[in-house]
Structure 1
Amino acid sequence: MPVVELHLIEGYGEEDKRRLGHALTDAVRFVVPAAPEGVVVMIHEMAPDAYFRGRTTKTPAPALPDPAEVVRRYLAAMEARDLDTARAMQGDGFLMQFPGTGPMTELSDLVAWAAPRYRFVTKTYDGFDAMPGAADAAVVYCYGTLSGEWLDGSAFSGIRFIDRFELVAGRITRQDVWNDMAEVRGRT
């Protein structure tokens, strides 16, 4: 039974500690074949005046937002065409790539690219997977199916998709999209 002990300066909320417990459990299970209930995570909190580094007390940094929730809010804003809200979730150097495109950096470019392809698209999500990425990045995959309307007014649904996002400091810096839209459109 793996046991993980974590010491934190007081100040993190219950949700932050729950996320830490889940993440540490998952990290252990990535290497050790243990059931979730077989991994023990103990979080010890200490008062800020009981922790010193460099002869001074420290306060905890705020927790980063849940990257999967950031991606969910971003995709909801994009679906609603609330580009200002979506843009506010992007980080420095934001880059996106969709099937058949080169890299794009502006949401207006994406809207222009989509305009001659379909009237609208909605996503039905089967899941979101979040994990640490390289350096300071978090990686989120979401997957499911696309529904919407072609330019001629006919409906489509059940088209597979997967999106991969990178987030740094809680902001989206990259989005890569794969889907079967061209494959399905070629058969209709």
Structure 2
Amino acid sequence: MPVIQVSLIRGYSGELKQRLCARLTDAVRHSIAADPEGITVLVHEVEPDAYMRGGRQRMPGAEGKDGKPGMSPEQVVRAFLSAMEARDLGAAKTLLDDEFVMTFPGSGEMHRLEELVAWAGGRYRFVRKCIAAVETCGDGDETTVFCHGELSGEWPDGTPFSGVRFIDRFELRRGRIVRQQVWNDLALARP
């Protein structure tokens, strides 16, 4: 069975190393018919003073947290959805590509978050997403992230709703959101 060995400069978090091991395991599983239990991933760490490239000592790269470059695609999507739920449009915009476009059921294409807020204003007071699962696929600079779960919130008259199914599809380019497509059952749940 496959054995993958990776060398990293010491200093990355355990969470990042676990994510890297999981992604490498998935890459092997999608490339050859290997049982995940038979795939071994080993992470070797070297001290920063024991590593050079181009004749210069190097330090670990940024892991990317809190909206900074380097976040995983899932982290970007979760940060965006959290910022939108909090109506922190400034934070949400930092995660968007210049060519960003979004569509919601019945909305048509929108390019600015303010358009979404205005469009949604007559549909509900607020909405929250309870994410059941997030799936990431793609390679290189292009990534697609799907998340699904249930919506809850309040209708314009203050009546609460919950248990409304949704699926969001995000396309990312170089770590920034280019497209968001949303499907949900809000129209079926509306009184």
Q: Same fold (TM over 0.5)?
A: yes
Do the aligned partners of 1:12 and 1:62 also contact (CA within 8 Å) in 2? no
Whether 1:132 and 2:138 are equivalent positions in the alignment is yes
TM-superposed deviation, 1:32: 3.5
Given the superposition, is the C-alpha separation of residues 61 and 2 from structure 1 closer, same or farther in structure 2, using an over 3 Å criterion?
same
Deviation at 1:125, TM superposition (A): 1.0
Superposed CA RMSD: 2.3
| Residue 170 of structure 1 pairs with residue 185 of structure 2 | no
The residue type paired with residue 124 of structure 2 is Y
* Other-structure match for 1:2: 2
Partner of 1:48: 51
Distance in 2 of aligned mates of 1:17 and 1:58: 21
Q: Quick check: 1:32 aligned with 2:35?
A: no
| Equivalent-residue separation in structure 2 for 1:107 and 1:11 (angstroms) | 40
Counterpart of 1:4, as a letter, is: I
Q: Structure 2 matches for 1:105-184, cutoff 5 A?
A: 105-133=111-139, 136-184=141-189
* Runs of 4+ in structure 1 over 4 Å off: 44-47, 56-63
Give, in angstroms, the shift of residue 35 of structure 1: 3.7
| TM-score under structure 1 length normalisation | 0.83
Measured against aligned partners, the alpha-carbon deviations of 1:37-95 in whole angstroms (never above 9, x if no partner) come to 3111234556432x45xxx5685764521221221111111111111111112122111
Deviation of 1:160 after TM superposition, in Å, equals 0.5
CA 1:44 to 1:35, structure 2 compared with 1: closer, same or farther past 3 Å?
Answer: same
Identity %: 49
Give the drift of 1:36: 2.8
Q: Tell me, which stretches of 5 or more residues in structure 2 are unaligned?
A: 64-69
Describe the SS at the equivalent of 2:122: coil
Q: Distance in 1 between matches of 2:11 and 2:172?
A: 21
Q: Secondary structure in 2 aligned to 1:118? A: coil
- Return the letter of the residue paired with 2:27: A
Aligned length: 180
The one-letter amino acid of 1:166's match is E
Could you report, residue by residue, the CA deviation over 1:122-179 in whole angstroms, capped at 9, with x for unpaired residues? 111111112225x512221111001111122222111100101122232222111111
* Displacement after TM superposition at 1:17 (Å): 3.0
Is 1:88 equivalent to 2:94 in the alignment?
A: yes
